[in-house]
């Protein structure tokens, strides 16, 4: 396995809000999907 460094230079602090926004954009609906999944999966033990 190679372990060469990232092709990008160190992240600029100014990018951090954008990174947070981007992860929230995809994370929020995914969290909703996971919540619904867990609700359904618990039926295996309670149903």
Partner 1 sequence: MSPPVAPPGWSRWLVPPAALSVHLSIGQAYAWSVFKPPLESALGLSGTQSALPFQLGIVMLGLSAAFGGTLVERNGPRWAMTVALVCFSSGFLLSALGAASEQYWLIVLGYGFVGGIGLGIGYISPVSTLIKWFPDRPGMATGIAIMGFGGGALIASPWSARMLESFGADNTGIALAFLVHGLSYAVFMLLGVLLVRVPRTPGAADGSPAPLEGVQVSARSAVRTPQFWLLWIVLCMNVTAGIGILEKAAPMITDFFADTSTPVSATAAAGFVALLSAANMAGRIGWSSASDLIGRKNIYRVYLGAGALMYALIALFGDSSKPLFVLCALVILSFYGGGFATVPAYLKDLFGTYQVGAIHGRLLTAWSTAGVLGPLIVNWIADRQEEAGRHGSSLYGMSLVIMIGLLVVGFVANELVRPVHARHHVSAPAPKEAADVPRQQPESA
Q: What percent of the residues of the chain are helix, what percent strand, and what percent coil, each to the nearest 5?
A: 70, 0, 30
- The Cα–Cα gap between 27 and 22 comes to 8
Q: Does 17 bind partner 1 (CB under 8 A)?
A: no
Subset of 25-44 contacting partner 1 (CB under 8 A): 25-26, 29-30, 32-34, 36-38, 40-44
Give the interface size with partner 1 as a residue count (CB under 8 A).
36
d(CA 22, CA 37): 23
Per CB under 8 A, residues contacting partner 1 are 1-12, 14-15, 18-19, 22-23, 25-26, 29-30, 32-34, 36-38, 40-47
């Amino acid at each position: 396995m190679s372990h060469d460094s990232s092709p990008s230079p160190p992240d600029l602090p100014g990018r951090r809000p954008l990174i947070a926004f981007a992860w929230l954009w995809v994370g929020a609906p995914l969290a909703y999907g996971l919540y619904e999944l867990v609700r359904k999966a618990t039926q295996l033990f309670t149903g």
